[in-house]
Structure 1
Amino acid sequence: MMTRRDLLGGVAATALVPLAGGVGTAFAGTGSKAGGGFCRHVDPFIGTGGHGHTYPGATVPFGMVQLSPDTNTAGWDACSGYHIQDRSLLGFSHTHLSGTGVGDMLDVLVVPRVGPVRLDPGTPESPDEGYRARFDHADEQATPGFYRVRLKDSGIEAELTATKRAGLHRYRFPDAAGAHLLIDFAHGFQDPAGSVTRITGASLRLVGKDTLVGGRHVHQWGQGRVIYFAMKLSRPFAGARFYSNDHAMPEGAQGVEGAALKCVLDLSDAHSSPLLVKVGLSAVDIDGALRNLDTEIPGWDFDGVRAAAAAAWEAELGRLAITKGGDAADIKIFYTALYHALLAPTLFSDVDGRYRAMDSTVRQLPAGANNYSTYSLWDTYRALHPLFTLAQPPSRVGDIVGGLVRMAEESPAGPPVWPLQGTETGCMIGWHSAVVVAEAAAKNIPGVDYKAAWPIFRKQAFQGQTSGLPEYRRLGYIPSDTVEEAVSKTLEYAYDDWAIARLGDAVGAADDAKALRQRSLNYRKLFDRDMTFMRPRFTDGSWAQPFDPRGMGHSRKWRDFTESNAWQATFLNQHDIYGYMEMFGGPAAFENKLDELFTTSSDLPDDAPPDIAGLVGQYAHGNEPSHHIAYLYAYTGAHHKTQARVRSLLKTMYRADPDGLAGNEDCGQMSAWYLMSALGLYAVDPVTPIYVFGSPLFDRVDVTVGEGRTLTIEAAGNAPDSPYIQSVTWQGKSYTRTWIRHADLVQGGRLVFTMGPKPNPRFGAAAEDRPSSFTATRV
């Protein structure tokens, strides 16, 4: 098990100056027939600046293909292949990660060019030395399912759109000699040391005069990914040349095998009419890629494919319909957040139901099922999956969660941690697939084999050898003199125990559930009651020295916390909040500690990772361990402080600009926090099926829940200076609790908040109105 810091080599990224204005503000939805309705509010350029790590290219909801420009492949802020500060691009590749802290993918780079063939990409500093092309952001446009750019030097105009498993390019070439497409099949993300993507086997092969197929075995973040493609041109190419390690193959060669492969397809009369290029992907084989391509894009109707992509986005975005309130910036942030929240997990099965399993075998899905990949579980269990269980069809949620169970059964590594295209990256800590599965069980999501999941997660809990787990079982905590990031691991293993206990309850394993529920209290072993902080502890039981709550650890050898410090880790408890409060001295003392978190100095030591960002005091909204903390006031009876903090975070941590996110998007989690909080709901403990109220941002939102039912959330008297809940009604009746059951919301109905400019301290103050916590029974 590793963290993103391991993969970054421990080097903090250089801070970037935000770009003035906003690229997407100028172009998103402008002049696009596909840009009406909800899509017109989406700006795919939000998050492409700062450290958001998003991409602006074309994809469909949960699509396997993400067809997007690559502007860089090296460094932390190239994780998605694109950054708004870049001024040249390499070409257009078909797979991208959205907002991750580690880079990979960027498969099948297509480079449209005129003039002499160049096989080296060149550098951002000297693009003329290679095949890079300059561009201006003024010549870019992006809307859901569509991307366009004009290449500055050649005058080539590129347009991109996509289906679930295929991408479609449209190129308009100038009247210039030497028009060609370069397919760089060695292209990929570089590791922190600058090494190029390691490929242990690849092949390219012509099929007739208009088709190129190939496959490769890639070792980057996902060790051993397998990807195949099939590419068809709308008219025959004039010739083809193959290269291995930039050495030309003999004239007339019909293919090439090796590792670093490239192909040049010469184009005659390229300027006479637009050239269309369609590319299908598969992790199974070339036949699968061809079948995906021919099934999803049988013809050459670019505008039709683009319109279908926009329609798919329109349908998904419309599941959360703002019908009243919010300024233009708020609405743009909201719908862009929803767009980002629907980019992952990504489809990872072919149209015929075949897929590549976690043990590298090819398997067949049952009819109607889908397989998925790209689960950033350490991040997304917190808000993204609760968003899905509320506002996605149960069949989709069952597919997504059922895929995790299938992976657990197939993977030699056991329960998924961070699965990527048939490989287990093992990135981050804990095994939070347990949380996602347990949440689905608690919310009665159909289509998931919970009984099949149980023995796999039980084995991990009671017999697993994951980093520090034997010590955790033996001592009740992980000692910081033997295991790196021991404090964070102890706390997250304890929460996973709680989640697995809830899964045990669901399948009738009462004795094991009881044992795990008791073991989930292990977090207490690292709490220093005198200092009221979580602290690193040694094997002999002594506290590690020196201790600085802003520090990363007790020594330079390794860190005691994962992308956090003691301030953030102290509030990581999500499941036993009332028991935890007593360790501080009761609710009032806990409330004071929360106040201190938000008001203390934001200073950090020099070795703090860049993930600790978006600071309010020592609260770090830019990274996920802090995301539930503002809602903890509700458990103290001071719910008005949750209301104030949540509204403030909604307005200060998100902007309608490229550098508009406080931290990495992390496959939808950063956006899902915004979406749930803007609705006025948040799942502090996702496996307890309730939502804690926050401060709804819009006057009215209609949410499609369950099987087409509507949940209407209204905020009467809402205004920028009125973040405070005065009262609540549910289904027309007075409602005094600060939380509500998932089971009630998914039946549909009307939830009305009456808002005001001053706190109502009485709302939620009574013990019986505070959220439930640490209960084995279904809420």
Structure 2
Amino acid sequence: MMNLTRRTLLGASASLALGAAARLEAAASEARPDLFIGTGGDGHTFPGASMPFGMVQLSPDTDTARWDTCSGYHHGDASLLGFSHTHLSGTGIGDMLDVLVVPTRGPVQLQPGPLDRPDEGYRQRYSQEQAEPGYYAVTLESGVRAELTVTPRTGIHRYQFPAGPAHILIDMSHLVMEGPGEAPLIDEALLTLEPEGTLTGTRRVFRWAKGRRIFFAMQFSRAADRVEFFTDDDQRAGATGAKGKRLKAVLHYADAGSAPLMIHCGISAVDLDGARRNLEAEAPHWNFNRYRAAAAQAWAAEMGHIIAEGGTAEQRTILASALYHASLGPTLFSDVDGRYVGLDHQVHTLGEGERAYSAYSLWDTYRAFHPLQTLIRPHRAAEFTADLIRQTWQSPFGPPVWPLQGVETGCMIGWHSVAVLAEARAKGIAADYAAAWPGIEKRLFDWSTPHLDNSLGIREYDEMGFIPADRIFESVSRVLEYSYDDYAAAHIADAAGATDRAARLRQRCGNWRNVFDAKLNFARPRLADGRWAEPFAPNEVGHSGKWRDFTESNSWQATFLNQHDVHGLIAAMGGDAAFEAKLDALFTADSTLPEGAPPDISGLVGQYAHGNEPSHHVAYLYAYCGAAWKTQAMVRRLLTEMYKAAPDGVIGNDDCGQMSAWFILSSLGFYPVDPVSATYVLGSPLFPRATVKLGQGRKLMVEAPGNGPGTPYVRAVQWNGQPWTRGWIAHADLAKGGTLRFEMSSTPDKAFASRPEDRPGRPA
């Protein structure tokens, strides 16, 4: 691409008072998010326009097929297809990319053409990209200047064409086409030009979320001079619409450059009436700048949640960008009238003030993303909690796993929505947790309940205490993650008064011990007859080259995948010294991975893999064995080595904000190793000062005077002016607001938080 610029212009909405408020305003105006961070490398983010947690993500698509373009966009791709209205942020599987709009000139091309040969189709080279929260602009080689902004449920386009004729292509089929004999990716598609000039459409998509539906209603600021429709194999259809699988519409303008052309596109997963109502409610006028200003104002409020001072300009940009990416989803899924599609595939209507959401990457986000929301956006966390409880009622599979657009994808293992619910309950989020229990109980104890791959082996897990590696793939990771979900589910059983089940779950959550080999101090696979599977190598992802025994990890990483019973793991390894030595060995091991290892195992320090979620809590485990100073050193190293202000600045998939949330919380000096415990383990803050808005006028001030690159260690801590000797702090304390003050040092204080009574995971 040519002359790439990356401006992110958030701006302050009003001047503040002198003193501390003025200092915070200056810091906020300087630290603006760079929306291109994560769009390169394996970050899988997108630079387009979205509202915070909005339904529409209006962004350019550079490709739809490659792993690099799971979000539809990859930095460095030299051409783009057009602009579609829905995108996933940071995921490892691609989907969405609904309703592609292509503004262009010249002969009509109905196929996109190859990425490296855009002249063979409607692809266009591009330049002068500009991205800021709620706004995206780019110049296309056809001479069109494209600008995009959004409301929560509507995409707003403005196109300035050169003088002369031009056209708008609406492509409902730009996903990868199926091969011979394969099931269609798209069916039941429909395009209709309504008498008053609104273009409506729908399609059903079978990509990741199999069978999801999208509906849209699109209005134009001026009527086209001529409209053409095309159906499967680019056959010309009728004058007012088309029906089939691969549909397109072309709107021709004889003098497109006479005035800017605007397009408003409302979407819905419910029906065409929902799309029309969303459009009517949110896009009543044609003033593009007003929509852009409203989006900027919404983002200014969200970006004001955390303001850092000091550090480097790059670090402040990374923090602001991480906060932006941790504010994109879960994405709004209910229409303005409260209707949405449940996981039972039925249309439901919410009560006043309620919202439904989609795109919960729960295997990733229960670890830090959801705890971040609970801390800084408790109202939003309450909405997510109520939504996940509803989804648990509605899903035939019980607690949600990876719900996307009204479809349970079942992606990854476990059922970590239970951990999100248990964490919210532990932190005082009011909800009807007991209502979720019947669905959770069925998933955990009723083997006749329909299941997806995420819960394979649960009967063996219950009856044998482990999952045989010669029967079920990813057996070791399943045991470890099912154990944590059992621990979390016990808290929901408590809320429902199911005391016997709660006791059973608290016993069963110790099943992690049954895949831990105390002779080798590694988690490893076992066969159905109880023997350890051979051969075994801790950096391998499976045994005998036959089975994959771990989920996006190996034994080095999975051994420490024990967030709820760290002190039990320490004892199993032989005590504090042995545990500390094992952590040392993890971080200093040879980083070689076997051929065929998943690309998600990235960001290696030894065999620690920061690029994937199973490792995210591990640097904090030193604090449990009395070596908090090693946690401080490693956390600071990860903060400074694994993130940068560049397109490839996220070391792995951002996974709907989890990688970003790790940076945010760790840069503040604490992290939720076990979110359900409602505590945070202290680490090493990155900035000399940070202000965190907690809602209802409360603020958390994190201070580390004189903090810098040479002072990663903590000498002492104060909470609200009083000495704090513990290596952890409760959510209930931080949520009230106050001042957490770190005294930093260039040399480790090995005595800090080393006493058993000061370590995390111990009774206060």
TM-score, scaled relative to structure 2: 0.95
Aligned to 1:27: 7
Tell me, in whole angstroms, the C-alpha distance in 2 between the residues paired with 1:229 and 1:493: 40
Tell me, in whole angstroms, the C-alpha distance in 2 between the residues paired with 1:105 and 1:591: 45
Q: Secondary structure at the match of 1:454?
A: helix
Q: Percent same amino acid at aligned positions?
A: 57
CA contact (8 A) 2:144 2:162 kept: yes
Q: Secondary structure at the match of 2:509?
A: helix
Letter in 2 for 1:442: A
Letter in 2 for 1:60: M
CA contact (8 A) 2:100 2:174 kept: yes
Matched, 1:543 2:532: yes
1:301 to 287, 304, 316: 287
Structure 1's consecutive aligned runs of 4 or more residues displaced over 6 angstroms after TM superposition are 30-36, 190-197
Tell me, in whole angstroms, the C-alpha distance in 2 between the residues paired with 1:748 and 1:31: 26
Matched, 1:162 2:145: no
CA contact (8 A) 1:103 1:189 kept: no
Tell me, in whole angstroms, the C-alpha distance in 1 between the residues paired with 2:624 and 2:4: 42
Instruction: Give the 5 Å matches for 1:349-428.
Output: 349-392=334-377, 394-428=378-412
Q: Specify whether residues 82 and 768 from structure 1 end up closer, same or farther in structure 2 by C-alpha distance, changes over 3 A only.
A: same
CA contact (8 A) 2:466 2:515 kept: yes
Q: Secondary structure at the match of 2:353?
A: coil
1:277 to 258, 263, 274: 263
Aligned to 2:63: 72
Letter in 2 for 1:27: R
Tell me, in whole angstroms, the C-alpha distance in 2 between the residues paired with 1:578 and 1:454: 28
CA contact (8 A) 2:230 2:237 kept: no
1:453 to 411, 432, 436: 436
Tell me, in whole angstroms, the C-alpha distance in 2 between the residues paired with 1:210 and 1:142: 31
Matched, 1:332 2:322: no
Tell me, in whole angstroms, the C-alpha distance in 2 between the residues paired with 1:405 and 1:382: 19
Letter in 2 for 1:256: A
Matched, 1:100 2:100: no
Letter in 1 for 2:423: E
Matched, 1:201 2:188: yes
Aligned to 1:287: 273
Greater mean deviation of Cα atoms: 639-648 or 357-366:
357-366
Matched, 1:212 2:199: yes
Q: Secondary structure at the match of 2:656?
A: helix
Matched, 1:566 2:552: no
For structure 1, list consecutive stretches of 5 or more residues without a partner in the other structure: 1-18
Tell me, in whole angstroms, the C-alpha distance in 1 between the residues paired with 2:491 and 2:639: 31
2:118 to 100, 113, 127: 127
State the shift of 1:612 in Å: 0.5
Letter in 1 for 2:425: A
Matched, 1:739 2:719: no
CA contact (8 A) 2:540 2:555 kept: yes
CA contact (8 A) 2:680 2:728 kept: yes
State the shift of 1:197 in Å: 6.5
Greater mean deviation of Cα atoms: 453-462 or 362-371:
453-462
1:617 to 600, 606, 612: 606
Tell me, in whole angstroms, the C-alpha distance in 2 between the residues paired with 1:367 and 1:268: 47
Aligned to 1:444: 428
Tell me, in whole angstroms, the C-alpha distance in 2 between the residues paired with 1:389 and 1:487: 30
1:516 to 505, 510, 519: 505
Spell out, residue by residue over 1:192-245, the C-alpha distance to the aligned partner (whole angstroms, 9 max, x if none).
999897112011111235310111111110001011001100011111111111
State the shift of 1:499 in Å: 0.5
Tell me, in whole angstroms, the C-alpha distance in 2 between the residues paired with 1:244 and 1:233: 22
Tell me, in whole angstroms, the C-alpha distance in 2 between the residues paired with 1:250 and 1:659: 44
Matched, 1:42 2:33: yes
Q: Specify whether residues 734 and 194 from structure 1 end up closer, same or farther in structure 2 by C-alpha distance, changes over 3 A only.
A: farther
State the shift of 1:188 in Å: 2.7
Matched, 1:533 2:522: yes
Aligned to 2:132: 143
Letter in 2 for 1:130: G
Aligned to 1:11: none
Aligned to 2:22: none
Tell me, in whole angstroms, the C-alpha distance in 2 between the residues paired with 1:527 and 1:337: 36
CA contact (8 A) 1:199 1:260 kept: yes
Q: Specify whether residues 38 and 231 from structure 1 end up closer, same or farther in structure 2 by C-alpha distance, changes over 3 A only.
A: farther
The count of residues paired between Structure 1 and Structure 2 equals 747
Q: Specify whether residues 636 and 344 from structure 1 end up closer, same or farther in structure 2 by C-alpha distance, changes over 3 A only.
A: same
Tell me, in whole angstroms, the C-alpha distance in 2 between the residues paired with 1:32 and 1:278: 27
Q: Secondary structure at the match of 1:716?
A: coil
Q: Specify whether residues 191 and 202 from structure 1 end up closer, same or farther in structure 2 by C-alpha distance, changes over 3 A only.
A: closer
Instruction: Give the 5 Å matches for 1:628-643.
Output: 628-643=617-632
Tell me, in whole angstroms, the C-alpha distance in 2 between the residues paired with 1:239 and 1:90: 22
Letter in 2 for 1:460: R
Tell me, in whole angstroms, the C-alpha distance in 1 between the residues paired with 2:12 and 2:198: 31
Spell out, residue by residue over 1:1-23, the C-alpha distance to the aligned partner (whole angstroms, 9 max, x if none).
xxxxxxxxxxxxxxxxxx9x995
Aligned to 2:54: 63
2:212 to 225, 231, 247: 225
CA contact (8 A) 2:11 2:29 kept: no
State the shift of 1:502 in Å: 1.9
Aligned to 1:463: 446
Tell me, in whole angstroms, the C-alpha distance in 1 between the residues paired with 2:628 and 2:159: 56
Q: Secondary structure at the match of 1:385?
A: helix
Tell me, in whole angstroms, the C-alpha distance in 2 between the residues paired with 1:459 and 1:119: 49
User: RMSD of the alignment, in Å?
Assistant: 2.1
Aligned to 1:6: none
Greater mean deviation of Cα atoms: 463-472 or 182-191:
182-191
CA contact (8 A) 2:177 2:185 kept: no
Spell out, residue by residue over 1:318-355, the C-alpha distance to the aligned partner (whole angstroms, 9 max, x if none).
01122x21110000000000000011100000011111
Aligned to 2:20: none
CA contact (8 A) 1:729 1:751 kept: yes
CA contact (8 A) 2:10 2:296 kept: no
State the shift of 1:510 in Å: 2.4
Q: Secondary structure at the match of 1:278?
A: strand
Letter in 1 for 2:287: D
Instruction: Give the 5 Å matches for 1:313-324.
Output: 313-322=299-308, 324=309
Greater mean deviation of Cα atoms: 259-268 or 559-568:
259-268
Q: Secondary structure at the match of 1:223?
A: coil
Greater mean deviation of Cα atoms: 155-164 or 553-562:
553-562
CA contact (8 A) 2:566 2:761 kept: no
Q: Specify whether residues 250 and 422 from structure 1 end up closer, same or farther in structure 2 by C-alpha distance, changes over 3 A only.
A: closer
Tell me, in whole angstroms, the C-alpha distance in 2 between the residues paired with 1:469 and 1:193: 37
CA contact (8 A) 2:231 2:248 kept: yes
Matched, 1:261 2:247: yes
Q: Specify whether residues 666 and 717 from structure 1 end up closer, same or farther in structure 2 by C-alpha distance, changes over 3 A only.
A: same
Letter in 2 for 1:214: G
State the shift of 1:297 in Å: 1.3
Matched, 1:717 2:703: no
Tell me, in whole angstroms, the C-alpha distance in 2 between the residues paired with 1:388 and 1:621: 21
Q: Secondary structure at the match of 1:667?
A: coil
Q: Secondary structure at the match of 1:687?
A: helix
Q: Secondary structure at the match of 2:438?
A: helix
Letter in 1 for 2:206: H
Spell out, residue by residue over 1:659-686, the C-alpha distance to the aligned partner (whole angstroms, 9 max, x if none).
1111000000000000000011100001
Tell me, in whole angstroms, the C-alpha distance in 2 between the residues paired with 1:77 and 1:209: 41
Q: Secondary structure at the match of 1:217?
A: strand
Tell me, in whole angstroms, the C-alpha distance in 2 between the residues paired with 1:708 and 1:627: 31
Q: Specify whether residues 665 and 193 from structure 1 end up closer, same or farther in structure 2 by C-alpha distance, changes over 3 A only.
A: farther
Letter in 1 for 2:104: R
TM-score, scaled relative to structure 1: 0.93
Aligned to 1:16: none
For structure 2, list consecutive stretches of 5 or more residues without a partner in the other structure: 15-24
Q: Specify whether residues 22 and 581 from structure 1 end up closer, same or farther in structure 2 by C-alpha distance, changes over 3 A only.
A: farther
CA contact (8 A) 2:493 2:501 kept: yes
